[in-house]
């Protein structure tokens, strides 16, 4: 299925929420104060909507993880982000759950779980097929955590981490461009290329003809 402008906008919404979860509730739980937390978010390129969230100071090291909670201000900011996206038609509904170790800091359902054949309200225990949203929710968050640990940089050429891209026209494409959907890759490849595991899929992507220069679109 070819990506539409609406699908891309939804990815942006979910990228923001993923960073709220990873940077706001998890990664920032070890920060000493809100000012340091905001600085961390800005360094990660989260943007002003997240970087300026008021965050509760981290608990002492001996406090059980289950008592870690988001501040009311952060919860309000998440509400505003999701309800705003629903209001303009970017997504029909959502369930946001943020956890840290054995504690759930935030769980809330918004909008509809389904709109056809009948509208069904979203439930906190709903299970979604993430499909392409795996990229912003899982991949982008995982890369952010690896970048914070010094294991990689967003401006690294992807070929540094994916040997299949070395010596191809995608060799200098950066991780940032891949995450931003500006790498020039085609929207989709034949499904048969993805039926035999990740290695074959990456090799197929490495052979794919570039539709535009990285960063051009």
Using CA atoms, how far apart are residues 196 and 98, in angstroms rounded to an integer? 33
| Residue environment code for 158-170, b if the CB has 16+ CB neighbours within 10 A, otherwise e | bbeebebbeebeb
Answer yes or no: is 137 within a domain: no
- Supply the pLDDT for residue 5: 40
Q: Is residue 217 part of a domain?
A: no
Residue 99 sits in the same domain as residue 30: yes
Task: Report if residue 100 sits inside a domain.
Answer: yes
107 membership: H or E segment, kind and range: strand 103-114
Exposure string for 21-32, b = 16+ CB within 10 A, e = fewer: bbbbbbbbbebe
Instruction: Write out residues in the chain with pLDDT < 70, as ranges.
Output: 1-69
What pLDDT score does 18 carry?
54
At 120, which helix (H) or strand (E)?
strand 120-121
Total number of domains constituting the chain: 2
- Domain region containing 41: 5-128+144-148
Q: Specify if 63 maps to a domain.
A: yes
Same domain, 183 and 118: no
From the candidates 66, 132, 163, 212, give the one annotated as an active-site residue.
Answer: 132
pLDDT of residue 15: 53
Q: What's the predicted TM-score (pTM) here?
A: 0.49
Question: Residue 213 has which token pair?
Answer: 């220069």
Q: Which residue, chain included where needed, has tokens 């009311």?
A: 72
Q: Rounded to whole angstroms, how far apart are CA atoms 135 and 119? A: 27
Structure tokens at 44: 């990660």
Question: Mapping DSSP to helix (H, G, I), strand (E, B) and coil, where does residue 109 land?
Answer: strand
Q: What is the pLDDT of residue 216?
A: 80
Structure tokens at 165: 């891209």
Is residue 196 assigned to a domain? yes
- Residues 119 and 164 occupy one common structural domain: no
List, for residues 101-117, the tens digit of each pLDDT value: 778 888 999 999 877 77
Q: Does 123 lie in the same domain as 49?
A: yes
Any catalytic annotation for residue 132?
yes
Structure tokens at 186: 């085609």
Evaluate whether 133 touches 141 at the Cβ level (below 8 Å): no
Instruction: Find the DSSP H helices in the chain.
Output: 5-19, 34-43, 48-51, 72-87, 134, 140-148, 175-179, 198-207
Final residue belonging to a domain, choices 115, 148, 181: 148
Cα–Cα distance for residue pair 202/194, rounded to 1 Å: 9
Both 91 and 190 in a single domain?
Answer: no
- Distance in angstroms (rounded) separating the CA atoms of residues 28 and 67: 15
Please tell me whether residues 106 and 164 are part of one structural domain.
Answer: no
The confidence score (pLDDT) of residue 157 equals: 94
């Amino acid at each position: 299925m070819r990506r539409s402008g609406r699908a891309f906008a939804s990815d942006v919404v979910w990228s923001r929420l993923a960073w709220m979860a990873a940077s706001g509730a998890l990664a920032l739980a070890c920060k000493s104060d809100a000012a340091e937390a905001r600085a961390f978010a800005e360094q990660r390129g989260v943007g002003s909507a997240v970087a300026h969230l008021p965050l509760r100071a981290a608990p002492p090291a001996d406090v059980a993880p289950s008592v870690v909670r988001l501040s009311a201000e952060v919860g309000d900011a998440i509400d505003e982000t999701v309800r705003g996206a629903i209001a303009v038609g970017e997504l029909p509904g959502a369930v946001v759950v943020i956890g840290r170790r054995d504690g759930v800091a935030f769980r809330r359902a918004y909008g509809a779980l389904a709109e056809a054949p009948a509208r069904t309200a979203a439930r906190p225990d709903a299970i979604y097929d993430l499909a392409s949203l795996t990229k912003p929710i899982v991949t982008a968050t995982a890369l952010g955590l690896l970048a914070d640990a010094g294991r990689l940089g967003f401006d690294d050429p992807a070929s540094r981490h994916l040997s299949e891209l070395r010596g191809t026209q995608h060799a200098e494409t950066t991780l940032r461009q891949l995450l931003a959907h500006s790498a020039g890759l085609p929207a989709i490849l034949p499904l048969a290329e993805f039926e035999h595991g990740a290695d074959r899929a990456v090799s197929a992507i490495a052979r794919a003809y570039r539709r535009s220069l990285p960063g051009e679109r």
